[in-house]
Each structure stands twice: as structure tokens, then as C-alpha cells.
Amino acid sequence: MNQDIIWAHFQNEGVASFSGATARLEFLVRQLRPGERVLNVGVGSGELEALAQRKGIDIWALDPGERAIEKIRNHLSLGERAQAGYSQQMPFPDVHFDAVVMSEVLEHLDADVRLRSLAEVHRVLKIGGRLIGTVPARERLSDSDVVCPSCGDKFHRWGHKAAFDVPAMTKLLKGEFAIETVHERFFNEWDSVGWGRRATGLIKKFLSSRGLGTYGAARNIYFVARKATEPS
């Protein structure tokens, strides 16, 4: 199944599927500093870019979807800072960014593309720059298999191609970066103010513990890794 077709649907007609991601995206933006030049890989609904822009971050965006990029360009006036392209061949200069965000991206990539993408992240980061991101934690890929009624192809409903635990993610990042943290966490709705959001978070935590809920609502592996001045 073509990943671009799946993701084009969710980023456009199915954008409501990202409704469970707000707490995760708010947390990630809190790790960024005003004035930093930051690349977000995989725009989703564009919520992270909007949150970052409001914080005074010089936010850039990369996504394979032309429609998603055009939408975010128009909505946030990003111009050429929003580019259509792939993570394994980024259309950006060397040592250009203070941070790169890859949240719920690496699990969509084949093994070879993952390694090439991380090499590209390393290339575009400044010395000391950070890679910040998340992947689903200990996902059982077969639980989300669906079958196309037209062609009979079986595929993961979100297009995931890999599952990670903390040791696997640590091993993956150590090839290019100095690791600051790799750990599991649940992105609670109560990370933001308001009792309504907190109640929603409790419900989502209960559902995710039983394998239910919307995309982004389950437990994740959060990671931060730095481009070291010397090879790690």
C-alpha cells in the first residue's frame, strides 16, 4: 500500500483523526525556545506549526503531501519555509536548524529510509542541535491491520511499518547522535490547563490501555538526541 495515499487522506479529508494529538504536540513545542529555527517533519494537521509560530519559533515544515504543504503555507504564511519532499532527501542546507522535530514519523518508514532520514537530520542540524520526537511505544502492528476491499492488500491502517521499544529506539539513534533521553510517557490532556481537558485525558488513557482511542492517544516513546561536536 502506497504510504503517500494513506497519509494524503488523513492530512486532508481525514484531518479530524489528529484530534488526540494536541497534548503531545503542546509538550513538544514546550521543549523548543523562541527564536530557534526548527524543522517539523510530517505536518499532520499543521497544529504543531501553529503552536510553534505563536511561541515565536522560526518554524519550518517538510511533508511529502503537496496539498498539506500548500494548506500550511497559506494558513501560516510560511512561504518557502514549508516544502514538499521526503525525509531521506531534505531540500534544506547543511547545519541550518537548531532543532528537528519528528513526531510519529519514524514508524512509517522502511528500515533503509529510516537510516537515510536520520542521516539527513544530522546533516541539516547545527552542531549541538537537537532531534526531538516520539513514536508509538511497543505497538503490536497486527492489531491495526486492515484489508482493502477492492484489491485485497493488507496494510496497517495508519501506514506503520515498524514498532519500537526503548532499547530499539536507543540503538537506532546512537548511530548518528548523542542521546539525551529515550523513555516512555503518556501525553496527558491534563498537561494543559482546564478540567475539561483533564477529564478527556483520563478517558483517553483508559481507552489507550485497552488498545482503543484515536491516533496519538496511546503511550509513546519520547526521545531527544543531540548532534555532537564529535562522533558519538
pLDDT per residue over 116-160, tens digit each?
999 999 999 999 999 999 999 988 866 765 667 777 676 656 678
Report how many domains make up the chain: 1
Position 191 scores a pLDDT of 45
Say whether pLDDT at 47 is over 50.
yes
Position 188 scores a pLDDT of 72
Position 158 scores a pLDDT of 61
Q: Are 12 and 18 in contact (CB under 8 A)?
A: no
Between 143 and 77, name the one with better pLDDT.
77
CATH at 163: 3.40.50.150
Nearest Cα to Cα of residue 6 among 58, 78, 68, 56: 68
Query: Where does the pLDDT of residue 170 fall: very low under 50, low under 70, confident under 90, or very high at 90 and above?
Result: very high
Is residue 69 in some structural domain? yes
Is residue 198 in some structural domain? yes
Is residue 55 in some structural domain? yes
Q: Are 143 and 211 in contact (CB under 8 A)?
A: yes
Q: What is the pTM of this model?
A: 0.80
Query: Rounded to 5 degrees, what are φ and ψ at 89?
Result: -150, 75
Position 151 scores a pLDDT of 75
Which residue segment(s) compose the domain that 32 sits in?
3-226
Query: How far lies 153's CA from each of 126, 140, 149, 162, in Å?
Result: 42, 19, 8, 18
Q: Spell out the residues 6+ positions from residue 200 whose beta carbon is closer than 8 angstroms to its own.
A: 189
- Residue 222 and residue 141: Cα distance in Å, rounded? 19
Is residue 232 in some structural domain? no
Say whether pLDDT at 27 is over 60.
yes
Position 136 scores a pLDDT of 94
Is residue 60 in some structural domain? yes
Is residue 32 in some structural domain? yes
Q: 83-92, 208-217, 222-231: which has the minimum mean pLDDT?
A: 208-217
- Residue 140 and residue 160: Cα distance in Å, rounded? 10
Is residue 215 in some structural domain? yes
Arithmetic mean of pLDDT over the chain: 83
